[in-house]
């Protein structure tokens, strides 16, 4: 019989836990060979301000061991396609695995999600609900853990990458469209266009005002990189290009992100996404990036996966989306 952990769980403490959380996630991801080593600042930006769907001191739990974090987990919710998805994430330090810590944290997170329905902090009361999570399929611990916890995979996604030292083809913008510099007064129109285009994405998340503010106030937000195509005074499509210098420094690789690729329905099928992709690749290359990266749903109904493959993107990580009835 494996030895069960005696470590106590306690609520996340915003005043002091960010550095230790950054160390924990980094230790886990180095061990599991996943290139995301978040800095304290990055986590603080994501977690420090409580908002409707996530308050770290209410919705996150940690375990201490030897003056560091042995494990942590959080649960948040999002409205997707007419239901509320209570999503969680768990990190157990490589030294602390197979002692039941992940199982205890998951039980706490599920209980917290149930409680959020009762106390009104868990999203629209009249919608059906489901528990959800995501894992990298190359990580056997996560895959086995999800299966034994009753979370089968319902969908896959990829993080795709494309080296920037390979030639980048020329693709002209479709007639009548022009790419213009992003100005503050354009932010809302660009956002609304992207939200509208993503209605055709599998289980598009209903975005909140918090998401809007977070996107346009992020210290790494650089409007000079974004590619936004206009048809007169309407946005036809856009790519939100971003570079995260600190994150790149930590993994030792210069990655340029094509964070959202979207074309509104009336302008699809004319090569607009292709034109915006090649412009984005050039921008990242000119800024000294070694690879371009993006995330995509493996069964994207609008053919995004094939489009990215055509421009040289290849899967780097496969994500499994796991779900369990509420």
Ligand X SMILES: CC(C)(COP(=O)(O)OP(=O)(O)OC[C@H]1O[C@@H](n2cnc3c(N)ncnc32)[C@H](O)[C@@H]1OP(=O)(O)O)[C@@H](O)C(=O)NCCC(=O)NCCS
State yes or no: residue 211 binds ligand X (CB under 6 A). Answer: no
CB of 112 to ligand X, least distance (A): 16
Q: Which is nearer to ligand X, 32 or 222 (CB)?
A: 32
Q: Does 26 bind ligand X (CB under 6 A)?
A: no
**Residues in 237-266 at the binding interface with ligand X, rule: CB under 6 A:** none
Nearest residue to ligand X on Cβ basis: 102
- Helices (H) and strands (E) in the chain — how many of each? 10, 12
Give the phi and the psi of residue 73 in degrees, each rounded to 5: -155, 155
Q: Does 294 participate in binding ligand X (rule CB under 6 A)?
A: no
- Pairwise CA distance, residues 138 & 32, whole Å: 8
Using the rule CB under 6 A, is 125 a contact of ligand X?
Answer: no
Stretch that binds ligand X, among 57-65, 109-117, 139-147, 292-300 (CB under 6 A): 139-147
Task: Provide the CA 94 distance to its chain's centre, in angstroms.
Answer: 23
Helices (H), 152-263: 187-197, 209-217, 245-251
- List of residues 6+ apart from 94 with CB closer than 8 A: 27, 28, 31
Which CB, 89 or 220, lies closer to ligand X? 89
Minimum distance from residue 150 beta carbon to ligand X (Å): 11
Tokens of 85: 């998805």
Q: How far is the CB of 7 from ligand X (least distance, A)?
A: 10
3-state helix, strand, coil in the chain (%, to 5): 35, 30, 35
The reply on whether position 140 binds ligand X by CB under 6 A is yes
Asked if 159 contacts 259 with a C-beta cutoff of 8 angstroms, the reply is: no
Residue 145 binds ligand X (CB under 6 A) = yes
161's enclosing H/E stretch is strand 153-163
> Judged by CB, which is closer to ligand X: 132, or 237?
132
Task: Give the contacts of 315 (CB within 8 A, at least 6 positions apart).
Answer: 158, 159, 160
User: Quick one: which of 56, 132, 133, 237 contacts ligand X (CB under 6 A)?
Assistant: 133
**Minimum CB–partner distance for residue 104 and ligand X (Å):** 7
Check binding of 139 to ligand X (CB under 6 A). Answer: yes
Place of tokens 């959380």: 21
Q: Where in 46-105 is the site for ligand X (CB under 6 A)?
A: 89-92, 97-103
For 114-123, b where at least 16 C-beta lie within 10 A, e where not — what string?
Answer: eebbeeebbb
Is 10 a binding residue for ligand X by CB under 6 A? The answer is: no
Choose between 208 and 318: whose C-beta lies nearer to ligand X: 318
312 scored as a contact of ligand X (CB under 6 A): no
Among 75, 142, 236, 240, interactor with ligand X by CB under 6 A: 142
Q: Does 153 bind ligand X (CB under 6 A)?
A: no
- Considering the complex, what minimum distance in angstroms separates the CB of residue 119 from ligand X? 25
Q: What is the DSSP string of 80-111?
A: ETTEEEEEEEEEE-GGGTTSSHHHHHHHHHHH
Residues binding ligand X (CB under 6 A) = 2, 28, 32, 89-92, 97-103, 133, 135, 139-142, 144-146, 148
């Amino acid at each position: 019989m494996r030895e069960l952990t005696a470590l106590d769980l306690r609520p996340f403490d915003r005043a002091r836990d960010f550095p230790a959380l950054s160390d924990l996630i980094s230790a886990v991801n180095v061990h599991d060979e996943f290139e995301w080593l978040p800095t304290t600042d990055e986590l603080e930006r994501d977690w420090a301000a409580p908002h409707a769907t996530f308050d770290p001191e209410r919705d996150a739990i940690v375990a201490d061991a030897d003056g560091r974090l042995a494990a942590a987990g959080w649960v948040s919710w999002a409205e997707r396609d007419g239901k509320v998805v209570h999503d969680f994430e768990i990190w157990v330090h490589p030294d602390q695995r197979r002692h039941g810590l992940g199982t205890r944290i998951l039980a706490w997170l599920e209980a917290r999600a149930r409680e959020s329905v009762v106390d009104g902090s868990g999203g629209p009361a009249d919608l059906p609900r489901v528990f959800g999570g995501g894992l990298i399929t190359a990580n056997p611990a996560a895959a086995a853990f999800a299966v034994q916890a009753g979370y089968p995979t319902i969908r896959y996604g990829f993080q795709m990458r494309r080296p920037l030292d390979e030639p980048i083809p020329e693709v002209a913008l479709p007639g009548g469209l022009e790419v213009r510099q992003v100005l503050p007064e354009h932010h809302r129109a660009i956002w609304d266009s992207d939200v509208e285009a993503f209605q055709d994405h599998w289980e598009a998340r209903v975005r909140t005002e918090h998401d809007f503010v977070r996107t346009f106030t992020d210290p790494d937000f650089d409007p000079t990189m974004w590619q936004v195509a206009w048809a007169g005074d309407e946005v036809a499509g856009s790519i939100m290009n971003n570079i995260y210098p600190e994150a790149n420094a930590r993994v030792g690789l210069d990655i340029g992100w094509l964070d959202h690729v979207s074309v509104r329905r009336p302008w699809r099928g004319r090569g607009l996404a292709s034109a915006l992709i090649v412009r984005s690749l050039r921008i990242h290359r000119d800024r000294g990036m070694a690879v371009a990266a993006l995330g995509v749903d493996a069964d994207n109904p609008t053919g995004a996966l094939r489009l990215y493959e055509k421009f040289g993107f290849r899967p780097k990580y496969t994500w499994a989306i796991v779900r369990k009835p509420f």
